[in-house]
Structure 1
Amino acid sequence: MAVQGKEPVSAGAVLGWLALSALAPGAAHLRAGRRTAGLILLSCYFAGLLALLALVLTTDNLLGSLTQDSWLTAIVVGAAALGVAWFAVIVHSFVVLRPGRLPQNGQILAGTLAGLLAVAVVVPFGLVAQYVWTSQQTLGDIFTGPEPAEPAVPAGQEPPQDPWAGRERVNILLLGGDADDNRTGVRTDSMNVASIDVKSGNTVLVSLPRNLENVRFRPGTPMAQRFPGGFRLPPDPGGGRSDLLNSVWEYADAHPEIFGGRRQQGPQVLMDTIGYTLDLKIDWYALVNMWGFARLIDAIGGITLTVEQDVVFGKYNEGLVKAGTRKLKGADAMWYARSRTYSDDYTRMRRQRCVLGALLGQADPATVLARFNRIALAAKELIRTDIPRSMLTNLVPLALRVKNAKVTSLQFVPPLIRTGYPDWDKIRRLTAKAVRDSAAATSAVAASATPSATPSASPSATDGSSPRKSGKPSTQPSAPPTKGLTEGCGAG
């Protein structure tokens, strides 16, 4: 224990005790004989550490809670206050060590290094405050969907504890759009439904092709009344078609008169249409601007992919993504995923799945922290969604489970289906079986105890009005053609 009046008399000793005080506030005060001040500082320090440990250990769903505004604001304020306090402690510790007793050269050296140390201890708190503030602003800009209505709870009863209201799966429509400054409206060229088991995170990624024809709409909806025989329009002047699945959003947005004058109905119409096609209840959607996605890939420093063969792109075939395994920048990764030159939609769907798998596997926490500001800026320009902010509390831990869970893929491409004459019943059967198999993979015991682990029921499952089937009937296969998310990536 320190003895009054035994202050250090060398610059090295002053700086050593000062550095110790940066890690354990009060150490320099005890060394200088300021017992009361030193013990108070050390007591506050250890009490704070214990309180933080207790908070971490006793808070259920800590990561999910960190998406709430109240928590984020508290962290920003707390980090700023602690930064100022730590700076003050270093300065006062330097003063009580009486550097004036040092030789002039020692005073200059100790003073300079003490000033640098005082600034250095503030930097981590400043970074935490800045990162959290950026996170708060980014979340507020992206997640603007309406909050769900609180269920009525009878007087004297506790509100339900299950955030999923008894649902076994959550179904999120993931869209890749090609919105551009030179194009009116949004065409969704990549459409995938992630059906996620809320307990295990096991996920089925169901992919629908952009060129699916004669799309059927749920009976009784405005689009079904406009197109009772399926989505069909006259050919474009150039011979192309604007009545494929990827045009549903754009068409609905362009014709508000169908919906009684209500505008921006595209997202809801597409969610309902795809949900009806697959017989899944789609909970939310997330639209990713494909070129914003390229900026996100650049923000994490690129992704490593095996390009199985040269991919040509560009209006005049002037671009080339060379074959081989290497790290791709965002633009090259997007051209690899999107190009149809010397290829087709179905090969492109596979390449898109490979890019998603690479991003999921390579966006590790260390990379995200190191490039946080760039990622946040890219995310704000990238994502449009109707997921309510409050649901992030539950979706964040679910997303972490998905990262370490079994993710399978079901792609409705030829020869499995014919895009011109889709077998709607076959699509629904295969989707249902893929989801059942995903649920069974969670636990054989749970699957036998809950044999009805099927897709979330949609009205079409009970009203007897399934999508009209065209093409030849097909027998139900023994197993759906599912595969791992990155299975086949890098193969010829």
Structure 2
Amino acid sequence: MSHVSTPPSADGATSPRGGGRGGKRDRPRGRRTGRWILISLAVLIVAVAGTGYWLYSGIDGNIQGVDIDRAIGDDRPEKLPTSGQNILILGSDSRAGANAALHTGKVSGARSDTALVMHIPEGRRQAVAVSIPRDTLVTRPECTSATGSTVASARRVMFNSIYSQVGPACVVKTVEQMSGVRMDHYVEVDFAGFKDLVDAIGGVTVTVDQDIHDTSSGLDLTKGTHRLDGTRSLEFVRTRHGIGDGSDLGRIGLQQQFMIALLGEIQRQDLLGSPVKAYKIADKLTAALTTDSELASLTKLAEFGRSLKGVNPDTMETIMLPVAYDKADPNRVVAAQPQASALWKAVRADTEIPESAKKSPATGGN
């Protein structure tokens, strides 16, 4: 098994490490992962604050907006008075259109490689993020495509395929149907959009403890420390066959660790210390963003970011949706019951998530 080493946090903790199927996996250290999710949003807000209005107006149009409410309609869970804010965050891996030139492996199209449901309780400081593995088999509800056509419901669909088959609104609807939780906002970050950002800051440094050779993503790294440019960074976040058992469970941690290294590089270089540097970061980040139409401007994003200021990132917890290996296809996972139902019930009711709901058979939980 191979993993990325990242610098320890202030409390001396190190990043979560994945393991192969059949072995016991270390439990993800959700608090630090949650901290970096919020810091990612804070980086954008701070970068915008450091620019002049003419710079601001020049990048405000970078953000793409999706009218989720119109696409889904009324077939949605009820918005409960105590439900706080629920945000679906997708890390997509687009390999179509202009991004096709960035593709180095054998996979085409677009996938939602990383999915997090961030739950921010009303009037509280502690938040929770639920990570949904991309290989999870789910029931896709009937959806409306971007062209307006109706796509029939389907069972045993791989979660990450919904994005490419029907679009982001259907991903939101699928998550709402499987969880019973109403999503207030949608934020998508295109991994391919980070290529220019990584190149603009001069690369990102990662350390691996074993050789990684993945013919699918194109990544070829020897054991040790490497400075990755934009193209190799894309190979890195796309890698799955070169680590662990080749499943998605290892890649989730790998992508989180890369984001920590990237944000650490921005901090180390003090790239937000001047308007010119801040503009460069804001320009690249906004070019990689798609949000629901209510957040699709820098002003609205900044307002939303300020509304989160009461949330303490150090107390935020990231929990992987409890999953078990599918009996018919061991290369896929399904939501483990009754753990998954208990997890979503706690999110809906805005109550503390029981420890039993955090245990995942596919990652060594009981």
Normalising by structure 1, report the TM-score: 0.47
Partner of 1:368: 272
Aligned pairs for 1:277-426 within 5 A = 277-315=178-216, 319-325=219-225, 328-343=228-243, 344=246, 345-360=248-263, 363-364=266-267, 366-370=270-274, 371-386=277-292, 387-389=295-297, 391-398=300-307, 404-412=313-321, 415=324, 419-423=332-336, 426=339
Deviations 1:348-375 (A, max 9, x none): 1111121233345554393234422332
- Would you say 1:453 and 2:331 are equivalent positions? no
Number of equivalences: 281
Q: 2:63 aligns with which of 136, 142, 148?
A: 142
Output the CA distance in 2 between the equivalents of 1:184 and 1:357. Answer: 27
Output the CA distance in 1 between the equivalents of 2:218 and 2:144. Answer: 44
The alpha-carbon distance between structure 1 residues 309 and 211, as it changes in their structure 2 partners (threshold 3 A), is same
Partner of 1:155: none
Q: Percent identity?
A: 22
Output the CA distance in 1 between the equivalents of 2:221 and 2:52. Answer: 35
Partner of 1:262: none
Deviations 1:174-230 (A, max 9, x none): 2323233349853222222222346455333322222222x2245x7679x9655x4
Letter in 1 for 2:250: T
Q: Do the aligned partners of 1:174 and 1:194 also contact (CA within 8 Å) in 2?
A: no
Letter in 1 for 2:90: L
Q: CA shift at 1:145, angstroms?
A: 5.4
Unmatched runs of 5 consecutive residues or more in structure 2: 1-41, 70-79, 101-106, 361-366
Output the CA distance in 2 between the equivalents of 1:299 and 1:202. Answer: 34
Aligned pairs for 1:120-135 within 5 A = 131-135=52-56
The alpha-carbon distance between structure 1 residues 145 and 192, as it changes in their structure 2 partners (threshold 3 A), is same
Partner of 1:196: 120
The alpha-carbon distance between structure 1 residues 342 and 326, as it changes in their structure 2 partners (threshold 3 A), is closer
Q: CA shift at 1:142, angstroms?
A: 0.8
Aligned pairs for 1:218-257 within 5 A = 218=141, 227=152, 230-231=154-155, 243-252=157-166
Partner of 1:468: none
The alpha-carbon distance between structure 1 residues 300 and 400, as it changes in their structure 2 partners (threshold 3 A), is farther
The alpha-carbon distance between structure 1 residues 147 and 415, as it changes in their structure 2 partners (threshold 3 A), is closer
Deviations 1:287-342 (A, max 9, x none): 22222123223334444444233222345x86423333565433333323221233
Equivalent position SS for 2:160: helix
Output the CA distance in 2 between the equivalents of 1:404 and 1:209. Answer: 22
- Would you say 1:429 and 2:342 are equivalent positions? yes
Higher helix share: 1
Q: 1:216 aligns with which of 130, 139, 142?
A: 139
Equivalent position SS for 2:240: coil
Higher strand share: 2
Letter in 1 for 2:223: A
- Higher RCO (CA < 8 A, seq sep 6+): 2
Q: Which has the larger radius of gyration?
A: 1
Letter in 2 for 1:406: T
Output the CA distance in 2 between the equivalents of 1:397 and 1:328. Answer: 33
Partner of 1:470: none
Aligned pairs for 1:38-57 within 5 A = none
For the aligned residue pairs, the C-alpha RMSD in angstroms reads 4.2
Q: CA shift at 1:270, angstroms?
A: 0.9
Aligned pairs for 1:5-154 within 5 A = 131-142=52-63, 144=65
Letter in 1 for 2:165: Y
Deviations 1:407-457 (A, max 9, x none): 322224755877454446532323445x59xxxxxxxxxxxxxxx5249xx
Output the CA distance in 2 between the equivalents of 1:314 and 1:422. Answer: 30
Output the CA distance in 2 between the equivalents of 1:363 and 1:347. Answer: 25
Partner of 1:53: none
Letter in 1 for 2:210: Q
The alpha-carbon distance between structure 1 residues 144 and 222, as it changes in their structure 2 partners (threshold 3 A), is closer
